[in-house]
Structure 1
Amino acid sequence: MVMPCQKNEKPPVTNTSVPSRDMNPLPDFWLPVFWKNQFRTTIELPTKEKYPQVRGSVAIITGSNTGLGFEASKQLLSLGLGHLIMGVRSLEKGMAAAQKLKAVAPRAIIDIWRLDMQSYDSVQEFAKKCANELSRIDFVILNAGLSPSVFEIVPATGHEVGMQVNHFSTALLTLLLIPILKAKAGDHGPPRITTVNSLTAHLCKFPNRDERPLLASFDDPDITPWSSQERYGVSKLINQLFLTKLCEKVKPDDVIVNMVDPGLTKGTNLGGHHEATGVAGMLSRSFFSIAGRPVDRGAASYTNAVYGHGKESHGCFLMSCEIAPLAGWFYTQGETLVEQVWKETIEELKFAGVEAQTLTFVVATSPKSSRDNQKLVRGHAARSNQSRDNKKNIKSWILKKKDTSTALQVPDGSIPGRVGSNLSLLDFPEPLKPYMENDIFRCFHGMRGALYPSEICLQVDETKSSWTTNLLVDQVYFHSVIFSTEAYFDMILGRKQGCLSQFHFSKTLRLLQERLSNPDSKAISDATIMVVVTLGLVAELIGDRAAAESHVAGMARIIDLRGGLEMLRYDNPRLPAKVCRVDLGLALRFGCRPVFFNNDISWNPYISSQGLIRGMKKANKRNNDIAVFIKTLDPRLSNVWRDLEEFSTLSNLASQTGRKLQPNTFSEIMISILYRLLALSYPESPVENALRLGMMAYTASVFFRWRDMKQRQAFLDDSFREALSELRKAELRPLDAVLLWLLVLWKITVSDDSRHDVFSEWTFEVLHGLEIKSWDGVRDVLKTVVWIDCLFDASSRRVFEPMLKMTGGLTGAHT
């Protein structure tokens, strides 16, 4: 059933009576909102009867020569707009557009004024022209925006171009226009400023939110890694936070300021998808064609934002022609972020006199949310994905009814049980059966801990990633998800491969072979690569070396066709880490030569070069003797040790605070360490070789969670055993603390017997030499080397307390 805009049935108290800031935040899972907006809501086209205020009005529309700005201009002129000022970067293109618009309204006045949103001077000149040449302004639509595909700095300002256009210049123009509009109000009530915003403000990850200064951190990709999609969303978020503060200081009786999201719209040039080539271009255009609104419907939301709502829309975010919640960040960290964004923006723009000028219109008289409303909103916001302070308690909308009694306990973790969800509203490549719905749920929510330790990593909701879209549109990927989920839980539960995993494996393989036999753009798509990654991962888990090597070789050929890992990372930042995980898994389990990074490797420390530990104190106790010992090693190995130390510091801090590691950051650190260690070899140095294998076991036990499934990385295990055996026979030994660290790693990552493995006697000797009689003593020594408390304490304590009891020592203070 199609639901036309503003005709949906509502309870007696409608959303329009509640300001955006007092609403419940949007749900974590983006798809239902997106589905409702794009497929189940039809925006009504504006008519003269519905919007009589437009007739004879004077309007300013920026970015009005193309896309939504042009379409909105055309619609408003057809409604009787008397005077249109087009703010455009290119006067030539603006005049060409104006000629087309003249055909719609021959009697209207259409002026083309230059406005370059990358230039503060141009913004100021435009505002000055508005003040000097216009006697009346009824409304302004700030439509000009940018979704840059590459990182670029505006030389004149020093800011990244997306932030410059979407926030800084938009904020400056807003501040300059408000007193002008107040002075030039017409007969249709308070003049309006509608800024085009986006739902992507709610979806952005905002990894640099704790950086200070905040806004400058967007200008340095070393501080805030570049992502085109992320940058567009976060630039809209920053401007949204700024406007919410501004609207507290502007009376709606003087100027009504609101924001509008036109939704995903086909036929626009935003993001450059119309110019993209190859697979990415085809997929992008197909997605816009299927999911995008017609451009006239998207533009209709502009008219609705201007004249479809009154003073109640002041400071509000409008979506699908209704007042909607602000981005989730406002409800969870708004008090801090709003003030920070406001302060830094005003500081940036004070050159234009806005700091002093704001005294002419900024008045703290607008109503604020009551304390009761604020508490209510924050209570509901506790389940938002942007709530970072207590991540373990955050649940997605699917999990909100989870019964803890359905959780299946596994070592050091749990697998959530099946709960109700409403995936039946979505169109999958095949009709969804109940077990498929269960598998999709388990894939996105029950398996995340197997990839990224929840104690130290931000648990990103995979349902908000591009993989959800692939699941809906790619049949091969759909079956690979069902197959891999069934196979994973077969192994977790100790079952033989079930008929469902066999059926979907066969179907995945058949569909994949058909795709690769008839090469087209899909044959090298992200979804195809992920299917091959899945097949390789499962083959590795079940111990089928030949199949795993075959899949990885095929995956490497596809990646070569995509331009290599570097280009793949440019297209999809998260995909290369998944590819490398399979490559490394084969090397550690079967001893295969890595396909990637087997020749050209950088040996410099990785973490310090990324600025990840600036200002952080070391979480582990520093042992100067160990520091001296590490300096005696091969510099390449000591650099990897440094990364391992700093990763452990980051992990300990992440487990104790809300500053979790981004999954991709976690993966890249692990990958950089493991590839370097695999490339090293010390046949003549038992100490360095044992340390290399110990570091590898330490890293692999974090990056690969096989131990929960009783899986062995046979090559690594055997190599570590041989290295320790050689070290025991060698004349030179490392420090006792380092030696204990190696033996502890052996016991918790390889040995199945806590008391009677091949190195038990040696371990007793080292404990005796260090005069350790309790588990606390063991732990204190380990923390002077490298140690992650939340990941290793429980397993090592289980091993060593029985050993210490056998020696007659104390059992440790912890119970």
Structure 2
Amino acid sequence: MTDQASGLFIVSTSLDKPDKETRKFIRSHVMRGKNTRKSRHTKELVQLSESAAQGNSQNTRIQGLQTEKSQHERNEWSLMSPRMIASEIQLYGYVEELRPYMMDLIRKAFTIIKPATYTIEVTLVEGQRTDMLCFSNFSQHPALFHSILFASQAFWDLSLGQAYGNTAQFHLAKTLFHLQQSLQDDNEATTTSTMTVVVSLAAAAAILGDLETVEKHMNGLRRMIELRGGLQTFRDGSIVEHKAQRIDFGLALATGSNLRFMNENISWNPQIAHGVSVTNLPELSMIDPRPDPRLLNIWTDLRVFSRVANEATKTGVKMSEAFFSRLNTSVPSRLVALQFDATSMSELLRLCMMAFMKSLLIQIDGLGPKMTFIANGLQNAILAQEFPPAPEQARVLLWVLFISSLSIFENSDQDWLKVALVQTVSVLGLQTWAETRIVLKSFLWVDLVYNQLGKRLFERWIESEGNGNERQGTPGARNNKSGSSEADKGGSLAT
């Protein structure tokens, strides 16, 4: 890539004082991570897990490369003057003129798309990674600049019920042009910046619900990583590895494919809940036969994570980046590697834990119903259970039905699911959302992700519909083909 700063030129972008909304956005970006209240209880909970992980080989790698990471961050471009965003972007020479609509698309990317797709990181993670989607991305590759503009414009077009317009097509063409130039250069083809472009395109396709394109990008990325020498050639915590693993997990949920990017040696010990006994899980005591110990270890990890996340929401004390990173790197690979009888309670638990992880890592509204592999698996496993359920099974099935509805089936009308949920609520004698939420929180439940969605589901299916008709018959008698109804493509990413 040629040096864009080799000559002097006049910047034509306006340097007028930003409007009130822009100033507020810039100020919030600059103050991110500051003025955070501390809570000793939550910090000790996270520190206990992190301290116990020091002997873990994966965590040792993290600690050993902190110096390299810090040096990498110092070498990246950083915005020195928030009031001159347009001017500093213009200096890269990626466009002849930085037009007002481009700045508007950048604003939408940071104020709409980023908060909606990285809810957990933005809200609950302390010192959230600065390379997830930020201004410094623009310095790495001209294609990254255009890919962000493409994703922002395409998302806006789809939200209006329109196909990609000329603006989105223009920036997509620019992205592919710059990417192709890098791929044809032996020195650039396997660099981190070039791979970041591919990951960015895959992420944009996922946000837009185009899973076929996501799969093509990820297959290409796998080939690039193989040519480079494997994942071990990246510094730990690399944005390429982080995003690739997250998107790869989403594809596994959609297609049932194996993970492309995962460590060959899987540790089945708890990776988050260090020192927590799996023998003390009263919420699962009614399941017979007892689930596989490997599955219970994952459950324990997710239970500790849920507790930390809920404490962070309540107290304002955020979890560390390393703590959250272990969720992304250790849980999906273990869940995908396991498999049980399709109609067993163990398989139903595994699928629901995958759906739970989808809510944490892939926060894209409307994508769940398109994940046909896990949708079909959940439907088969749920309908294999007895409804109305026996009282001792009703509590865990209530959690199963809520997680399946909120994470995978979303707003699609699944009559069989509604029948099962209403019957289960009836068996438990639950009358209000507050009573129902108490039961759900005894399992895996993150308040920030599920509270509002769960309340709306309860009001729509339990309160407003009435219980008379739905309590008759069985869920399977009114079966609706899984995955056949998709959520509104034009809906907002924010929930």
Q: Give TM-score scaled by structure 2 length.
A: 0.72
Query: Which range moves more in the overlay, 473-482 or 560-569?
Result: 560-569
Name the structure 2 match of 1:744: 402
Which residue does 2:481 correspond to in 1?
none
**Partner Cα separation in structure 2 for residue 551 and residue 773 of structure 1:** 48
2:143 aligned with 1:512, yes or no?
Answer: no
Aligned pair count reads 424
Show the counterpart of 1:803. 461
Q: 2:103 aligns with which of 437, 445, 461?
A: 437
C-alpha spacing 1:750/1:600, structure 2 compared with 1 (3 Å)? same
Map of 2:86 onto structure 1: 423
Cα offset, 1:700, TM superposition: 0.5
Contact kept? 1:205, 1:230, Cα under 8 Å: no
Q: 8 Å contact 2:108–2:152 — kept in the other structure? A: yes
Letter in 1 for 2:204: V
Q: Does 1:489 align with 2:156?
A: yes
Q: How does 1:664-813 map to 2 (within 5 A)?
A: 665-683=323-341, 686-707=344-365, 712-728=370-386, 735-751=393-409, 757-805=415-463, 806-807=466-467
> What is the CA distance between 1:483 and its match in structure 2?
1.7
For 1:660, what is the secondary structure of its paired residue? coil
Partner residue, 1:594: 259
How far does the alpha carbon of each residue in 1:687-732 deviate from its partner, in whole angstroms, 9 at most, with x for none? 1111111111122122211226786323222221122122348999
Residue of structure 1 in register with 2:216 after alignment: 550
Q: 2:232 maps to what in 1?
A: 566
C-alpha distance after superposition, 1:526-555 (max 9, x if no partner) = 221111112222334445454333321221
The answer for the alignment partner of 2:477 in structure 1 is: none
Give 1:423's aligned amino acid: A
Tell me if the contact between 1:29 and 1:397 (Cα under 8 Å) persists in the aligned partners: no
Distance 2:361 2:218 in 1: 19
Tell me the residue number matched to 1:105. Answer: none
Q: CA deviation at 1:560?
A: 2.7
Query: d(CA) in 2 for partners of 1:491 and 1:710?
Result: 17
How do 1:117-266 and structure 2 match up within 5 A? 222=54, 226=63
8 Å Cα contact 1:490-1:498 kept in structure 2: yes
1:775 offset after TM fit, Å? 1.6
Q: Report Cα offsets for 1:740-787 as digits up to 9, x if no partner.
A: 111122222344568861132322322222121222221111112221
How large is the Cα RMSD of the aligned pairs?
4.5
CA distance in 2, matches of 1:755, 1:503: 37
Cα offset, 1:801, TM superposition: 2.5
Q: Which amino acid aligns with 2:142?
A: Q
- Deviation per residue, 1:293-335 (Å, 9 max, x gap): xxxxxxxxxxxxxxxxxxxxxxxxxxxxxxxxxxxxxxxxxxx
Shift of 1:656: 0.8
2:430 is paired with a residue of what secondary structure? coil
TM-score (norm 1): 0.45
Higher relative contact order (CA 8 A, sep 6+): 2
Tell me the secondary structure at the aligned position of residue 503 of structure 1: helix
Give the distance between the partners of 1:606 and 1:630, measured in 2 at CA.
26
CA gap 1:792/1:204 in 2 versus in 1, 3 angstroms? closer
The secondary structure found in structure 2 opposite 1:772 is: coil
Cα deviation code 1:497-542 (max 9, x no counterpart) = 122221111121122122112211x222222111111222233444
In 2, Cα distance between equivalents of 1:442 and 1:458: 23
Question: What is the alpha-carbon distance in structure 2 between the residues aligned to residue 221 and residue 684 of structure 1?
Answer: 34
1:705 alignment partner, SS class: coil
Report the Cα distance in structure 2 between the residues aligned to 1:493 and 1:668, rounded to whole angstroms: 37
Residues 518 and 205 of structure 1, relative CA distance in 2, 3 Å threshold: farther
Identity percentage over the alignment? 28
Report the 3-state secondary structure (helix = DSSP H, G, I; strand = E; otherwise coil) of the residue aligned with 1:487: helix
Structure-2 change in CA distance of 1:434 and 1:706 (3 Å):
same
Mapped to 1, the partners of 2:139 and 2:269 lie a distance apart of 42
Specify whether residues 465 and 484 from structure 1 end up closer, same or farther in structure 2 by C-alpha distance, changes over 3 A only.
closer
Could you say which residue in structure 2 is the equivalent of 1:605?
Answer: 270
Letter in 2 for 1:438: D
CA distance in 1, matches of 2:372, 2:147: 26
Q: Is the 8 A contact 1:603 1:639 kept in 2?
A: yes
1:491 to 1:709, Cα distance in 2 relative to 1, 3 A: farther
Q: Residues 387 and 420 of structure 2 are in contact (CA less than 8 Å); yes or no, is this contact kept in structure 1?
A: no
Aligned equivalents of 1:750 and 1:674: distance in 2? 16
Q: Who is 2:124 aligned against? A: 456
Listed one character per residue, the Cα deviations across residues 661-712 of structure 1 (whole Å, up to 9, x for unaligned) are 3456434404422222121111265211111111111221222112267863
What is the CA–CA distance in structure 2 between the aligned matches of 1:759 and 1:203, rounded to whole Å? 41
Q: CA deviation at 1:469?
A: 4.1
Q: Residues of 2 paired with 1:473 and 1:762: CA distance?
A: 51
User: Which residue does 1:626 correspond to in 2?
Assistant: 284
> What letter corresponds to residue 339 of structure 2 in structure 1?
S
CA distance in 2, matches of 1:232, 1:790: 30
Closer/same/farther in 2, CA of residues 547 and 784 from structure 1, 3 Å limit: closer
The answer to whether the Cα contact below 8 Å between 1:588 and 1:713 also exists between their aligned partners in 2 is yes
Bigger-Rg structure (1/2): 1
Inter-CA distance 661–711: structure 2 relative to 1 (3 Å threshold)? farther
- Tell which deviates more after alignment, 761-770 or 641-650: 761-770
Asked whether the equivalents of residues 28 and 397 of structure 1 are also in contact (C-alpha less than 8 Å), the reply is no
Q: Hey, what's the Cα distance between the residues in 2 that align with 1:220 and 1:752?
A: 37
Closer/same/farther in 2, CA of residues 440 and 543 from structure 1, 3 Å limit:
closer
- State the match for 2:202 in structure 1: 536
Q: Which has the higher helix share?
A: 2
Letter in 2 for 1:456: L
* Separation (CA, whole Å) in 1 of partners of 2:391 and 2:233: 44
SS in structure 2 of the partner of residue 735 of structure 1 = helix
SS of the residue 1:495 aligns to: coil
CA offset digits 1:356-380 (Å, max 9, x no partner) = xxxxxxxxxxxxxxxxxxxxxxxxx
Q: Which residue of 2 aligns with 1:478?
A: 145
Q: Secondary structure of the equivalent of 2:334? A: helix
The answer to whether the Cα contact below 8 Å between 1:605 and 1:639 also exists between their aligned partners in 2 is yes
Q: Which residue of 2 aligns with 1:340?
A: none
Residue ranges of structure 1 left out of the alignment (5+ in a row):
1-25, 31-201, 234-270, 272-279, 292-395, 399-419, 614-621, 809-815
- Which residue of structure 1 aligns with residue 244 of structure 2? 579
Please list every run of 5 or more consecutive structure 2 residues that lacks an aligned counterpart in the other structure. 1-25, 469-495
| Maintained 8 Å contact 1:577/1:668 | no
Q: Is the 8 A contact 2:388 2:424 kept in 1?
A: no
Q: Which amino acid aligns with 1:485?
A: S
Q: Is the 8 A contact 1:533 1:579 kept in 2?
A: yes
Shift of 1:221: 8.2
Which structure carries more strand by proportion?
A: 1
Q: Please list, as runs of the form range in 1=range in 2, the aligned pairs for 1:396-411 lying within 5 A after superposition.
A: none
